[in-house]
Structure 1
Amino acid sequence: MIQKVSCYYISARRCLHGAGENYKEVRGFPGVWPPAASGKIDCALLPAPRLRPGLCDRFSIFRSRLKSNQNMIAQEMDSTWTTTVLLVPCVVLLTAGFFHLYGVIMGLLSKKSVRNKVVVITDALSGLGKECAGVFHKGGARLILCGKNWEKLEELADDLANSSDPTVTFPPKLVLLDFGDTDSMPEAIAEILDCYGCLDIIIFNSSMKVKAPAQTVSLEVDKLLMDNNYFGPVTLAKGVLASMISRRSGHLLLVNSIQGRLAVPFRSTYAASKHAVQAFFDCLRAEVEEYGISVSTISHNFISCSASGAPATSKSLWSLLYTKKPLGVSPDEAAAEIVKTLNNKRKEVVIAPSLPKMAIYARSFFPNVFFAVIGAGVKNASIAAEM
């Protein structure tokens, strides 16, 4: 019965809604309140409440104030939205300008950072080697260019001299260096050290590639690749370490392939040599750090003359890892990354599109999935070759 009375009470209160600010002002009903338990209130028959004077005016003022507050809120929201629309483009422009200015400043600092430094570039006749030679020569470095062909080295030196101001640059030194000829390495190392008596930076750029099934590659080819990709750079690094340790300064930078981190089919010997030289420089980094010598490795997927071109026909993961176009890295991009790495002294850099980088992590965290995708790519390639 009490529950019903409460319901009647609530109904009566709802019928009187709007008569006052709260129920205390409108509960002045004649008779006894609440009604008898058995009584039922008919909202239509309730007598009009006795309102205090000026109560309706107070409600009118309250409603007008409420409407004015709503209008003010709407105006503030409109002004906030307008400000946001105008502010976002300004922020974007300022951010872009900041990064552009940062790039210009870093470019100027990079040129100053190599000035008067003795820089050795192996395989200077390659596309990346020539690009690095041009960048460091214009930056005022004392270059030592190494290569297998003396005539082409002289042509490169002449091109550098003709394209720069001789008053602010140094004529490059030339050294014949062939990583494949291990017997000539001691003489070449001595000649490199005799050029200026010291070394500041060495860029290990030489590389030899072969693509074939493992069972078809002869042992002689295996040894040749290991000489060029592993024993040659290792011999040169060991030969100059004593000079750097005595000066307690120097920077060794290995331009390596991404296959030093990730192996794909039909490049077994090449991947093995790149894994070996990567491991050597990783160990060397920790050994010589106490002498103030920095060791950096840059792993790229492919360096081409142009990073643009026709898309590859094969869409398998392993084929995309080494597709020359359009996933290749241009020499100027690689050279800019080398300069940046030397300035920041970063230990390890990967220059590759997103897919090869994802494959590196997949190889580490999801090896079974990675091997399944690689195997499927080999099967697809075999079927396409048969057709």
Structure 2
Amino acid sequence: MQIMSLPSVMVWPLLIVVAAGVYYIYNEIMRFMSKSLVRNKVVVITDAVSGVGTECAHLFHKGGARLILCGTSWDKLESLYDSLTNDANPRETFAPKLVILDFSDMDSMEEVVAEVVDCYGCVDVLICNSSVKMKAPVQSISLELDRNIMDINYFGPSTLAKGILPTMISRRCGHIILVNSIQGRLAIPFRSSYAASKHAAQAFFECLRAEVQEYGVIVSTVSHTYINASNPRSNEKSAPKQSSLAAFIASQLNHGVRPSVLANEIMQTVNRKRKEVVLAHPIPWVALHLRSLFPPFLFAVLASGVKDSVLAEQMQ
């Protein structure tokens, strides 16, 4: 009987292996196709010298896109330019164009928009990747700092999108992508200014999506947990131990995603024209649903987490 039942026992592992193989082949095919889909496209990447921006730059450059790389440091932009062009085939790739862009200087935005558009006369894909983070109690954050965070995380991307939008509407095509945090959907304690700016950006681009759909312009939001450029395990060792459910949720939110993973997700969003992407672990997903279905429970959990952290600090 045992010999006869052996094949049936092996069916599920075999199915899993086959399914994994099919999924791998599908992803490889889509990755290969994605490179050809962005060829000759004019792609603007803000904060191109960041971890995610650099990964996006390499990915889209290899795909043959006409890149316009934006950042606050000319030296870092030139260094990225060199890393992209040194080993590149000039027959298959285009040399990127560099533009100084600082969202904290809103007075310069009109000139920056004109410079970006003048590079190729149009923009096919705008990737709004810039962001500044802040972790502090509400009462310790000055109004000046609040405004600076709003400029970089909200007013900057929205102003740039508004400036480039007319060229997309006139051509009746284009794709605008907001690389946003999951805290644009779920606010947690001690991130008031950051979460507020991300909520504002999320709302703006969702409104924009509906308004420009008739012109053939696509607007996407990619919401992720924290960017983790280092080894996740090292972060887990150094994290303070807390017993509350809120601390567990916070640790999941801080677990982060790798820049390369997020860059691939952005590329897939462009190619598949997806409008909303949430890149998060199961716990943040559960927290998002709790926020919609059982908000009092989530609020209580988050509040208890704050009390636990304050008590832990007092005991040290």
1:317-351 CA-to-partner distances (Å, cap 9, x unmatched) read 44445548972100011011111111221111111
Aligned equivalents of 2:121, 2:268: Cα separation in 1: 26
Aligned equivalents of 1:126, 1:324: Cα separation in 2: 23
Aligned equivalents of 1:190, 1:320: Cα separation in 2: 46
Name the counterpart of 2:109. 185
Classify the secondary structure of the residue corresponding to 2:255. Answer: coil
Q: How many residues align?
A: 311
Which of 240, 244, 255 pairs up with 1:327? 255
1:369 is the counterpart of 2:272: no
Name the counterpart of 1:226. 150
Aligned equivalents of 1:325, 1:290: Cα separation in 2: 36
1:139 is the counterpart of 2:63: yes
What is the aligned-residue identity percentage?
Answer: 56
| TM-score normalised per structure 2 | 0.93
Amino acid at match of 2:60: F
Relative distance call for 1:163 and 1:303 in structure 2 (3 A) is farther
Give the superposition deviation at 1:102.
Answer: 0.5
Name the counterpart of 2:81. 157
Classify the secondary structure of the residue corresponding to 1:105. Answer: helix
Which of 129, 132, 137 pairs up with 2:53? 129
Name the counterpart of 1:303. 227
Name the counterpart of 1:280. 204
RMSD: 1.9
Aligned equivalents of 1:333, 1:315: Cα separation in 2: 30
User: Structure 1: where are the runs of 5+ without partners?
Assistant: 1-73
Aligned equivalents of 1:358, 1:89: Cα separation in 2: 29
Report if the CA contact (8 A) 1:302-1:324 is conserved.
no
Q: Which has the higher contact order (CA 8 A, sep 6+)?
A: 2
Report if the CA contact (8 A) 1:307-1:325 is conserved.
no
Report if the CA contact (8 A) 2:246-2:304 is conserved.
no
Aligned equivalents of 1:333, 1:126: Cα separation in 2: 14
Amino acid at match of 1:383: L
Amino acid at match of 1:123: D
Give the superposition deviation at 1:163.
Answer: 3.5
Report if the CA contact (8 A) 2:226-2:254 is conserved.
no
Amino acid at match of 1:381: S
Name the counterpart of 1:10. none
| TM-score normalised per structure 1 | 0.77
